[in-house]
Structure 1
Amino acid sequence: MGKDHIIKSMLSENVNMTPNGFAADQLNPEQFAENHALFFDKILEISSSDIAGVEGYGEFNDACKTEYESCRAFLLDTFADDKEGYWTNWKELFDTTVLEREFFETYYKEMMDRIPYCEGKRFLVYNNTFFINMITDGKSMVGFPDWSRSGISDFLLDFAIMDLNKPYLQIPELLNEYCRKRNIVIPDFKERFLCMAYYKGIDVLRWHASIDDTESCMSIMKSIRELKDRLYAI
């Protein structure tokens, strides 16, 4: 059975893998604000998937298996300098690009300090919730067509990616209010969100540095710096 078929077998019928519509990136902030609960509903549907029989953490391989036994191993190995492929000797970027060693190490430690809050939090994640990858009709449907980055992690990763993509939409603030109205309790919400956000933030930061996208790097760094104050103000 192929990867997509295995994932489909885990998902509820309320999660659409073959949506018709337009990229959610086309929504303006007001339109998203009106429909944010729909996005949150569907992401939580993904996280409620039955992953019995699926072990570990990390992105799925082609056989829909994960590589890591713990959340800590997954997050830390993402930044190993001896990985094969694109990221081999990636720390050379500190000397050749705008990637700042001090900034990276600061938020790498912030991530590490919060891993215990996420350890044991195992959910199916889409892991690609940039708005360009989510399809909507702008009214009643949100779908997720590309599951190539999916895997097992804390489900707050999917919300953290949305916020990294468009911080001005105030995803964690809206999610906090969404949960309050529905009596949904997310234990250690702020620390788990920060862990996932720092993980994905510094990972995306080094990607943009590697392609000399200085403007995106500056924007990402600003978002990362401001996030803790935003979360603690909730």
Structure 2
Amino acid sequence: MSKDNFLRSMLSEKVSMTPNGFVADQLTPEQFWNCHELFFDSLLEIHASDISGVDGYGRFNGNYKPEYETCREFLIDTFAEDKEGYWYNWREMFGTTLLQRDFFEQYYKEMEKRIHYCEGKRYLVNNFTFFVNMITDGKTTVGFPDWSFSGIGDFLIDFAIMDLNKPYLRIPELLVEYCKKREIIIPEFKERFLCMAYYKGIDVLRWHASIDDAESCTTIVKSISELKDRIYAL
């Protein structure tokens, strides 16, 4: 079975993997705000998938199985130094790149102390919801053609990625209003959102530092630094 067929076996027919439209990154803030509920509807369709036949957490491996038994193992191992490949001995970056040890360690600890809020929260996630990876017509359709990083985890990671990508769109603020309108209750929303956002934030920061992308690093550091005040104000 191909990965696409594997995913289609779990996904609702309402979730498009081959959408028509344009890259969502082309939307102006006003255009996004006018159709943001369409994005949220589509993401929640993904998260409503039946994963009863899938165990564990993390990205799907070559056999379409998550590699970790717990959420803690998944998040912590992402930053292991002894993993073969691109991130082998990655902590050497602290002395050679834009990645600052104090900043990274601060938000790693912020993530770590919140992991227990996300433990047991298992959903199918796209885990690659940057606006350049979503297709929309801005009116009726939002689709997800790229499932390279898909797996099992807390569904708030998909919203946290959107916010990390474009914090000025105020994704968590919009999501809270969306949920109130639909009487959707997300237990421990604030702590879970922060955990997922810090996890993805420091991981993406590490990536941009590795390619010496100073502009993105500055933007990400600012977004991460300001997030707690935004979330606790909700």
Please indicate the TM-score interval, normalised by the length of the shorter structure.
over 0.9
Are the aligned partners of 1:42 and 1:142 in contact in 2 as well (CA < 8 Å)? yes
Residue pairs, 1:18-57, within 5 angstroms: 18-57=18-57
Aligned equivalent of 2:140: 140
Q: Find the aligned partners of 1:108 and 1:4 in 2 and give their Cα distance.
A: 33
Aligned equivalent of 1:233: 233
Uncovered stretches (5+) of structure 1, i.e. residues with no partner: none
Aligned equivalent of 1:208: 208
- Secondary structure of the 1:224 match is helix
Aligned equivalent of 1:67: 67
Uncovered stretches (5+) of structure 2, i.e. residues with no partner: none
Q: Find the aligned partners of 1:89 and 1:197 in 2 and give their Cα distance.
A: 24
Aligned equivalent of 2:86: 86
Residue pairs, 1:70-219, within 5 angstroms: 70-219=70-219
- How far the C-alpha of 1:62 sits from its partner, in A, is 2.2
Q: Find the aligned partners of 1:86 and 1:94 in 2 and give their Cα distance.
A: 15
Quick one: which amino acid aligns to residue 132 of structure 2?
A: I
Summarize deviations over 1:92-144 as a string: whole Å, max 9, x none: 11000110000000000000000000000000000000000000001110000
Q: Find the aligned partners of 1:138 and 1:45 in 2 and give their Cα distance.
A: 18
Are the aligned partners of 1:108 and 1:199 in contact in 2 as well (CA < 8 Å)? yes
- Secondary structure of the 2:25 match is helix
TM-score (norm 2): 0.99
Quick one: which amino acid aligns to residue 135 of structure 2?
A: I
- How far the C-alpha of 1:63 sits from its partner, in A, is 1.8
After superposition, the CA RMSD in angstroms is 0.4
Aligned equivalent of 1:7: 7
- How far the C-alpha of 1:89 sits from its partner, in A, is 0.4
Asked if residue 17 in structure 1 is aligned to residue 17 in structure 2, the reply is yes
Flag as ranges the 4+ runs of structure 1 deviating above 6 A.
none
Are the aligned partners of 1:2 and 1:62 in contact in 2 as well (CA < 8 Å)? no
Q: Find the aligned partners of 2:131 and 2:219 in 1 and give their Cα distance.
A: 17
- How far the C-alpha of 1:52 sits from its partner, in A, is 1.0
Q: Find the aligned partners of 1:190 and 1:227 in 2 and give their Cα distance.
A: 10
Summarize deviations over 1:150-209 as a string: whole Å, max 9, x none: 000000000000000000000000000000010000000000000000000000000000
- Secondary structure of the 1:152 match is strand
Q: Find the aligned partners of 1:71 and 1:82 in 2 and give their Cα distance.
A: 19
Are the aligned partners of 1:134 and 1:142 in contact in 2 as well (CA < 8 Å)? yes
Quick one: which amino acid aligns to residue 157 of structure 2?
A: L
TM-score (norm 1): 0.99
Summarize deviations over 1:39-98 as a string: whole Å, max 9, x none: 000000000000011000000012211100000000000000111000000001100011
Q: Find the aligned partners of 2:218 and 2:163 in 1 and give their Cα distance.
A: 16
> Percent of aligned pairs with the same residue?
74
Q: Find the aligned partners of 1:15 and 1:23 in 2 and give their Cα distance.
A: 16
